[in-house]
Amino acid sequence: MEHKDPFVEKLQVVIRFAVRILAVMMVLVILLGVLDVAWTLYQKLINQPVFILTISEILATFGAFMAVLIAIEIFVNITIYLRDDVIHVKIVVATALMAVARKVIILDTEKTSGLDLVGLALLVIACSLAYWLVHDMPSFSVRFGRTKSAEEAKEEQ
């Protein structure tokens, strides 16, 4: 969306620069996350008994893997925004669903109250429903607060 107002155009340049900085920082987070997962897994595998992980260690490792995958999805969101100036709702919802899945995987049911479990279940249902709603739409994206028209979506395909 182009503005004729020079002030708004300058602000958009600043925002795009800030988003680029966020992309670089997200790459650093991803690399550090991968190193952390690798180091933690290595440490757990060399301890006695060698090459045997407990269930809690496996779940913690899954959680760390999922955290890195979520960071990668956020990076994808950032790069698509930089490329298209568009926020793709489907990708954002998929990222949220992945974050909820991570929480479910690492959840310690012994330390979680029933009300927390109900809230998490409702969150899973809400994210799943949102993903189902946007999954079959060819291109459901938000461009500065508006959805793409059918013509714009067809032009991209």
Average model confidence (pLDDT) across the chain: 85
Q: What is the pLDDT of residue 149?
A: 52
- 137 closest CA partner among 99, 100, 101, 93: 93
- What percent of the chain is modeled with pLDDT above 90? 49
Q: What is the pTM of this model?
A: 0.74
**Residue 127 structure tokens:** 């994210």
Looking at 85-156, list the stretches that DSSP marks H as alpha helix, in order from N- to C-terminal side.
89-106, 114-135, 150-156
Q: What is the pLDDT of residue 21?
A: 96
* Helix axes 55-84 and 89-106, enclosed angle (nearest 10): 170
Tell which wins on pLDDT, 4 or 104: 104
- 103 closest CA partner among 63, 58, 44, 55: 63
Give CA–CA dist 127/95, Å, rounded. Answer: 10
User: Beta 87-88 vs 146-147: how paired, if at all?
Assistant: unpaired
The pLDDT-based confidence of 106 (bands split at 50, 70, 90) is confident
**Contacts (Cβ under 8 Å, ≥6 apart) of 142:** 86, 87, 89
Q: What is the pLDDT of residue 148?
A: 52
Residue spans per domain, the chain: 6-148
Give CA–CA dist 80/57, Å, rounded. Answer: 35
User: Beta 141-143 vs 146-147: how paired, if at all?
Assistant: antiparallel
Give CA–CA dist 98/103, Å, rounded. Answer: 9
